[in-house]
A and B are shown apart, each in its own frame.
Chain A
């Protein structure tokens, strides 16, 4: 099993709060991704990074931001959470070329 970790596993928080979802991997992978997934639905790519200090927006517009200061760490931040942000957020990392993606357990976020 791949070594990629997400915290928190679950988060219930009020509207307007600033939230940071953590994602870390110990495989030394350059490529990392954030996906948003509603229950039973498709995966939407919201951010990705191909290395330190490199971040790009994905296919789905998101009000979140990301940073990549260290290879192993790819946090996602919501400056002001809203109920529309309620979803599951999955982090993934990938090795060289077209190697498979390894997913974390996800963060289930609920904004009241």
Chain B
């Protein structure tokens, strides 16, 4: 079956440093979605990428979808303590399939 891998599993940064998490799928994805889960909370949708090579920005967050639609990345510039949480990527081979979630990257930001 489809596998979605995320690295790193965990990262601890100082406030102001940059952060990147990478997502790789064993199969081509129809789209990639990113979610954020705060400690004790539930996953919250951040963004969806659909096109090959697509890049989207949300303030300090930059999301990329690879040319082959098998990998993606989330980059946070100048992290803040409010960025703390676990970031999950998720995707499926078609719009009719269930989402496969990566294992997530837990981000800890020290002030």
User: A interface vs B, CB < 8 Å?
Assistant: 33, 40-43, 45, 48, 58-59, 90, 92, 97-98, 100-106
Contact = CB atoms under 8 A, between A and B. Distances in A.
Interface string B77-111: 00000000010101010010011111110100000
Contacts of A90: 42-43
13 contacts: A41-B103, A41-B104, A43-B101, A48-B98, A90-B43, A98-B30, A98-B31, A100-B45, A101-B43, A101-B45, A101-B90, A102-B45, A106-B42
Nearest to A4: B42
A12 to B, nearest CB: 17
A58 B2 CA distance: 13
A106 B31 CA distance: 26
B98 A58 contact: yes
Given A42-B88, A92-B43, A98-B95, 19 more contacts: A33-B98, A41-B104, A42-B101, A43-B43, A45-B98, A48-B98, A59-B100, A90-B42, A98-B30, A98-B48, A98-B50, A100-B45, A101-B33, A101-B43, A101-B99, A103-B42, A103-B44, A104-B42, A106-B42
Contact of A98 (B41, B44, B92, B103): B92
Given A90-B42, A98-B92, A103-B42, A42 B48 contact: no
Contacts of A97: 95
B101 A40 contact: no
A42 B45 contact: no
Contacts of A102: 45
Given A100-B48, A106-B42, A42 B102 contact: yes
